[in-house]
Structure 1
Amino acid sequence: MTSSALAPQALRADLLDFTAPPSWGSPTLQGVRFRPDHWLLVGADGRIQGAEPAATFTPGPDWQQHDHRGHLLMPGFIDTHVHAPQLDVIASWGATLLDWLNTYTFPAEQRYADPAVAAEGAARFLDALLAHGTTAAVVFPTVHRASAEALFEAASQRGMRLITGKVLMNRHAPEGLRDDVDGARADCEALIQRWHGQGRNAYAVTVRFAVTSTPEQLAMAGELGRHHPGLYMQTHVAENRDEVAWVARLFPEARSYLDVYHRAGLLHERAVLAHGIWLDAQDRALLRDTGAHIAHSPSSNLFLGSGLFDWQAAVDSGHGVSIASDVGGGTSLSLTRTLAEAYKVQALRGTTLSAWTLLHAATRGAAEALGLSREIGHLDPGATADLAVWRWAEGPVGHHRDAVATGAVPGLAAQPLHARVFAWLTLADERQLAATYVAGRRRAGRGGGG
Structure 2
Amino acid sequence: MIYPGDPSPYPASRANFRQIGPMSPDTLLTGRILGFDRSPFDAGDPASAARLHEAVLIRGGRIVALGTAHALRAQAPQVARVDMGDALITAGFVDAHVHYPQTAIIASWGKRLIDWLNSYTFPEEMRFADPAYARRIADRYLDLTLANGTTTVASYCTIHPASVDAFFEAAQARGLRAVAGKTCMDRNAPEGLRDTAQSAYDDSKTLLRRWHGVDRLSYAITPRFSPTSTPDQLSALGALWSEHPDCLMQTHLSEQTDEIAWVRSLYPEVRDYLDTYEAHGLLGARGLYGHAIHLTSRERDRLREVGAALIHCPTSNTFIGSGLFDLAARMAEGQRVGLATDTGGGSSFSMLRTMAAAYEIGQLTGTALHPAQLLWLATAGSAQTLHMGHLIGNIAPGMEADLVALDLASTPAIAQRSARAGDIWEALFPTLMMGDDRTIARVWVAGTAFSPCHPRA
Note if 1:142 corresponds to 2:158.
Answer: yes
Return the letter of the residue paired with 2:61. G
Residue 204 (structure 2) aligns with: 188
Superposed displacement of residue 69, structure 1: 1.1
Question: Residue 14 of structure 1: which of 32, 36, 43 is its match?
Answer: 32
Contact 2:159–2:193 at 8 Å: present in 1 too? yes
Structure 1 residue runs without a partner (length 5+): 406-414
Residue 428 (structure 2) aligns with: 421
Contact 1:27–1:355 at 8 Å: present in 2 too? no
Residue 401 (structure 1) aligns with: 417
The CA RMSD over aligned residues, in Å, is 1.9
Superposed displacement of residue 418, structure 1: 2.4
Tell me how far apart the structure 2 counterparts of residues 229 and 352 of structure 1 sit (CA, whole Å).
37
Residue 125 (structure 1) aligns with: 141
- Deviation per CA, 1:216-252: give whole Å up to 9, x if none: 0000110011011201100111001110100011011
Structure-to-structure mapping, 1:268-283, within 5 angstroms: 268-283=284-299
Question: Residue 32 of structure 1: which of 34, 47, 50 is its match?
Answer: 50
Contact 1:24–1:357 at 8 Å: present in 2 too? no
Contact 1:26–1:354 at 8 Å: present in 2 too? no
Tell me how far apart the structure 1 counterparts of residues 204 and 445 of structure 2 sit (CA, whole Å).
28
SS at match of 1:179: coil
Residue 309 (structure 1) aligns with: 325
Residue 67 (structure 2) aligns with: 52
Contact 1:285–1:319 at 8 Å: present in 2 too? no
Aligned length: 434
Identity %: 42
Contact 2:61–2:448 at 8 Å: present in 1 too? yes
Structure 2 residue runs without a partner (length 5+): 1-19
The 4+ residue runs of structure 1 with deviation greater than 6 A are: 2-5
Contact 1:27–1:354 at 8 Å: present in 2 too? no
Return the letter of the residue paired with 1:440. G
Q: Please say which of residues 316-325 and 212-221 is displaced more in the overlay.
A: 316-325
Superposed displacement of residue 291, structure 1: 1.1
Residue 168 (structure 2) aligns with: 152
Superposed displacement of residue 146, structure 1: 0.4
Contact 1:143–1:179 at 8 Å: present in 2 too? yes
- Deviation per CA, 1:396-448: give whole Å up to 9, x if none: 2211111111xxxxxxxxx233222222211211111011110000134249x
Taking structure 1 as reference, are residues 25 and 92 closer, same or farther at Cα in structure 2, changes over 3 Å only?
farther
Taking structure 1 as reference, are residues 140 and 444 closer, same or farther at Cα in structure 2, changes over 3 Å only?
farther
SS at match of 2:47: coil
Contact 2:65–2:72 at 8 Å: present in 1 too? no
Return the letter of the residue paired with 1:87. T
- Deviation per CA, 1:138-180: give whole Å up to 9, x if none: 1011111000111111111111111111011010001211011
Residue 241 (structure 1) aligns with: 257
Tell me how far apart the structure 1 counterparts of residues 363 and 35 of structure 2 sit (CA, whole Å).
24
SS at match of 1:74: strand
Note if 1:289 corresponds to 2:296.
Answer: no
Residue 4 (structure 2) aligns with: none
Return the letter of the residue paired with 1:116. A
Task: State TM-score, norm by structure 1.
Answer: 0.93
Task: State TM-score, norm by structure 2.
Answer: 0.91
Tell me how far apart the structure 1 counterparts of residues 439 and 81 of structure 2 sit (CA, whole Å).
21
Tell me how far apart the structure 1 counterparts of residues 268 and 106 of structure 2 sit (CA, whole Å).
34
Note if 1:110 corresponds to 2:117.
Answer: no
